[in-house]
Amino acid sequence: MEWKLALPEIALAISALIILVAGVIPKRDTSFGVTMASLGALLLAGGLTLAQGEGSAFGGQYVADSFSTFMKLLAIAGAALGLMLALDWNTKQGIARFEFPILVLLATIGMMVMISANDLMALYMGLELLSLPLYVLAAFHRDSGRATEAGLKYFILGSLASGLLLYGASLVYGFAGTTNFDRLADAFSAQQGISAGVVVGIVFIIAALCFKISAVPFHMWTPDVYEGAPTPVTAFFASAPKVAAVALLTRVLAGPFGDTVAQWQQVIVLVSLLSMVMGAFAALGQRNIKRLMAYSSIGHIGFTLMGLAVGGESGLRGVLVYMAIYLFMNLGTFAVLVAMRRDGRALEGIDDLAGLGRTDPGMALAMAIFMFSMAGVPPMAGFFGKLYVLLPAIEQGFWVLAVVGVLSSVVSAYYYLRVIKVMYFDAPVGAFDARPAAVSVVLAGTGLFTGFMFLFPAPILAAARSAVVAILGAG
Amino acid sequence: MIAGLAFYLFAAILIACATMVVTSRNPVHSVLYLILGFFNAAGLFLLAGAEFLAMILVIVYVGAVAVLFLFVVMMLDIDFAKMREGFQRYAPFGAVVGGILFLELLMVMGTWQFSGDAAELRLSPVPGGVSNTVALGRVLYTDYVFLFQIAGLILLVAMMGAIVLTLRERPGTRRQVIEDQLAREGKVEILSVPSGKGIRELGIYRPLPKPEPAPKQVSHGHGHGHDDHGHGGHH
């Protein structure tokens, strides 16, 4: 039993338990210390992930390869940056409780289990361990009606998605006779025709995972939950769990179901098209910037799925590069949103950004970088993300996807550029409160990454390529 | 022979208990019948050689679930007479639903066929010469230890979530401070009270419970003293 292979997860779980005990015993408020300890635990898990060997453990339920390392590092980074954003916000909103970082830690374990899942059961357990803390985090501001509504809505629809996933998994198990990904791949490569039961099962599994990444037509919960949940929680929702769910979808579709590509490709193409169009047009009329970001994330997921639909080494590499860039530019944008606070009150309107270019030039510059990047303007990182999914789509002849992708990108540029226009050309309505230090750190880090990634893209591209080789070789 | 007799005994009592759970007028009796039913089901498991399941059934269902039911039934203020009011009205509809279900079961029974090796699979729960407790343990703690541990973490999250979302530390609640209670002196006395005579008539001081004053108006020391006397008289 090679249990040591799962050392990152084990270490993170044990640290979460220790931090929980250490946080609950003192009678005073321990949220700051617990957050710091949680950041340390995430750092430890990140280091262990880097040092992790390759192979499979626990009877083939757990697999570690360079794909899992790449995605786990992204998920851990997302969780850590989300925690840093929440540190000051929670205190100011009066919801600073020590359970918050621990729930984030447990959700991170769930993400890591998902990314390393090599079995339908491990997949489901990881997904639940991710989802349950997210439901609680969405409703963490329990005295706010909107947060409670967000949590309840997310919980009910999330449970429905879990049910779909289980139903699909049971169909696949019933028709293929195994839940292990490697043996599923063997079974499907041997069979001449795929039975209808397996196809229905795959579609159910895809639907459930599309719910988790809020792809159209399973996106209905996203704007309400993003708007209602506390802003740092929304930042976390929009970044790390999406990375984990996209990783899972990639591993499932490229690995065990790699030989049934004809069955699921059309589904992914359709979902990708709908998501890109929806993300572009529905965001046009939004006044609330959190709702805007919700639709924006739907559009970005559409682009990511384009890479998955195209498939192959270059398509999947595009998925990984896009997720890495999306994670950092998204967290950076949310850092600005977290810093939007005037006279102690948190603000969410796009109009509240008016005149930021004069009142806080540094933050306005960072926000402009993120908005240009999201719109896909070169030389920002977001441009390369779109480039690496559009190029394979054109090479492989997915013209519809590529054309719709470019057009929706043009439409979405309107609302990204409107934010910049509001910041630089509208009359100031007053300065924001002083930025907390942790938010400044996140802003600077993600801003530098987004703005200057074009100078050093090689490490990310190389890591993504070796990750894709690992997953395709296994499948 | 004896095993066969025991099977029919357990099964008959189990069915009788199940009927009584549904039909008995007193809900407490229902729960007690349920407990008896659990014991008989455990007996059936024992006959089938699944001693681990039998013990788990007794420990978990009788020890925890049924007792919890009992508490809930006793504590909830439900007017069971009122719940039964509609019985006459809904009985025909219920009978129709039950009849359809019964017919469907009969049709299933008519076409049901056991697979050829069902007889071998049945009642042979012990793989490879170990007891089924060991076998279950191997599955849970060796083959699927990874998933088992994650399930544990999920349950921890559920517990934390319930606490995070519902526990409120209200200011002004009077907590029991055990150290203070143990440290006080000269305030506790044990008096023997003849049964049937009210403590008020006997002159043992125990102040009548006053209507709870608003927390702001009452001085802390005063209220505390009264509480102490109350406890003392009670012992």
Q: Do A142 and B165 make contact, defined as CB atoms within 8 angstroms? A: yes
Q: For chain A, say whether B180 makes contact (Cβ under 8 Å).
A: no
Mean pLDDT of the region B132-147: 87
- pLDDT exceeding 90 applies to what percent of chain A? 69
For A129, which of B142, B154, B164 is closest by C-beta distance? B154
In this predicted model, what pLDDT tens digit does every residue of B143-180 receive, in sequence order? 899 999 999 999 999 999 999 999 887 777 777 888 87
Give DSSP secondary structure letters for A149-208.
Answer: HHHHHHHHHHHHHHHHHHHHHHHHHHHHS--BHHHHHHHHHH-SS--HHHHHHHHHHHHH
Cβ contact B31:B69 at 8 Å: yes
Contact status of A106 with chain B (Cβ, < 8 Å): yes
Q: Show the beta-strand stretches assigned E in A359-424.
A: none
Task: Output the pLDDT for position B218.
Answer: 45
Average pLDDT for B11-23: 93
Q: Compute the distance between CA of residue A386 and CA of residue A322 in angstroms, rounded to an integer.
A: 7
ipTM of the complex: 0.92
> Is A132 in contact with B158 (Cβ distance < 8 A)?
yes
Confidence of residue B198 (pLDDT cuts 50, 70, 90): low
Beta strands in A353-464 (DSSP E): none
Bridge-based pairing of strands A55-57 and A62-64 is: antiparallel
Pick the range with the lowest mean pLDDT from A55-64, A317-326, B120-129: B120-129
Q: Give one DSSP letter per residue of A291-326, joined into a string.
A: HHHHHHHHHHHHHHHHHHHH-HHHHHHHHHHHHHHH
Residue in this structure with the two tokens 């025909």, named with its chain if needed: B92
Angle A237-A243-A246 from CA coordinates, rounded to 5°: 115
pLDDT digits (tens, 9 = 90+) for A233-250: 999 999 999 999 999 999
Domain B2-79+124-163 has CATH 1.20.120.1200: yes
Q: What is the number of other CB atoms lying within 10 angstroms of the CB of residue A235?
A: 30
Chain-wide mean pLDDT for chain A?
91
Contact B92, B39 (CB under 8 A): no
Strand A62-64 versus strand A341-342 pairing type: unpaired
Q: What angle do CA A343, A347, A350 make, to 5 degrees?
A: 130
d(CA A319, CA A386): 10
**Closest CA of chain A from B8, distance in Å:** 36
Cα A339 to Cα A283, A375, A378, A383, B77, distances in angstroms: 22, 22, 26, 26, 51
pLDDT digits over A421-464, tens only?
Answer: 999 999 888 888 888 899 999 999 999 999 998 888 888 899 99
| Contact call for residues A284 and A414 (beta carbons, < 8 A) | yes
Confidence label for B227 from pLDDT (cuts 50, 70 and 90): very low
When CB atoms are compared, the residue of B144, B151, B165 closest to A136 is B165
Question: What's the pLDDT at B17?
Answer: 95
B146, B160, B164 member nearest A122 (Cβ): B146
Closest CA to B54 of B132, B145, B151, B138: B132
User: Cβ distance A109 to A46 under 8 Å?
Assistant: no
Q: Calculate the alpha carbon distances from B172 to A303, A304, A336, B165, B218 in Å.
A: 55, 54, 40, 21, 12
Give the C-alpha distances (Å, rounded to integers) separating A285 from A253, A280, A291, A371, B71: 35, 10, 10, 17, 55
The span from the CA of B132 to the CA of B134, in Å, is 5
A113 close contact with B: CB closer than 8 A: yes
pLDDT given at position B206: 56
pLDDT tens digits, B51-78 = 888 999 999 988 888 888 888 888 877 7
Given 3-state DSSP classes, what are the helix, strand and coil percentages for chain A, each rounded to the nearest 5?
80, 5, 20
Give residue B225's pLDDT band: very low, low, confident or very high (50, 70, 90). very low
Lowest mean pLDDT among A202-216, A282-296, B81-95: B81-95
- Chain B residues touching residue A17 (CB < 8 angstroms): 156
Contact A171, A201 (CB under 8 A): yes
Residue A162 has pLDDT above 50, yes or no: yes
| B160 neighbourhood in chain A, CB within 8 Å | 20, 99, 102-103, 106, 136
- For the CA atoms of A269, A270, A275, A276, the dihedral, rounded to the nearest 10 degrees, stands at 60
Torsion of CA B85, B87, B90, B94, to 10 degrees: 150
Most B CBs within 10 Å: which of A99, A119, A127, A180, as the mutation test of the B interface? A99
In whole angstroms, what is the distance from residue A57 CA to residue A455 CA?
Answer: 39
Using an 8 Å CB-CB cutoff, list chain A residues near B152.
none
- A contacts of B145 (beta carbons < 8 Å): 58
Measure in Å the smallest separation between the Cα of B168 and chain A Cα atoms.
11
Q: Give the residue on B whose Cα is nearest the Cα of A107.
A: B157
CB contact under 8 A, B147 and A125: yes
Chain A / chain B CB contacts < 8 angstroms: 64
What torsion, rounded to 10 degrees, do the Cα atoms A328, A329, A335, A340 define? -170
In whole angstroms, what is the distance from residue A345 CA to residue A368 CA?
Answer: 23
Q: Which of B145, B151, B163 sits opposite A58 (nearest CB)?
A: B145
Pairwise CA distance, residues A269 & A168, whole Å: 20
Contact A6 B146 (CB under 8 A): yes
3-class SS of residue A44:
helix
Element spanning A56, H or E: strand A55-57
Closest CA to A201 of A225, A175, A171: A171
Given a cut of 50, is residue B139 above it in pLDDT?
yes
Select the residue of B143, B149, B161 nearest A132 (Cβ to Cβ).
B161
Burial (CB < 10 A; 0-12, 13-18, 19+), residue A265, is middle
Domain ranges of chain A: 3-474
Query: How is residue A4 annotated by DSSP?
Result: G
Q: Which of B147, B161, B165 sits opposite A61 (nearest CB)?
A: B147
Lowest mean pLDDT, pick from A3-17, A305-319, B170-184: B170-184
Residue spans per domain, chain B: 2-79+124-163, 189-234
Question: Taking CB atoms and an 8 Å limit, are A125 and B150 in contact across chains?
Answer: yes
- Cα–Cα dist A467/B83, whole Å: 63
A128 near B CB under 8 A: yes
B198 phi-psi bin (left φ>0, alpha ψ -120 to 50, beta other): beta
Provide mean pLDDT across the span B216-228.
45
Closest CA to A242 of A310, A161, A164, A298: A298
Neighbours of A370 (CB within 10 A): 30
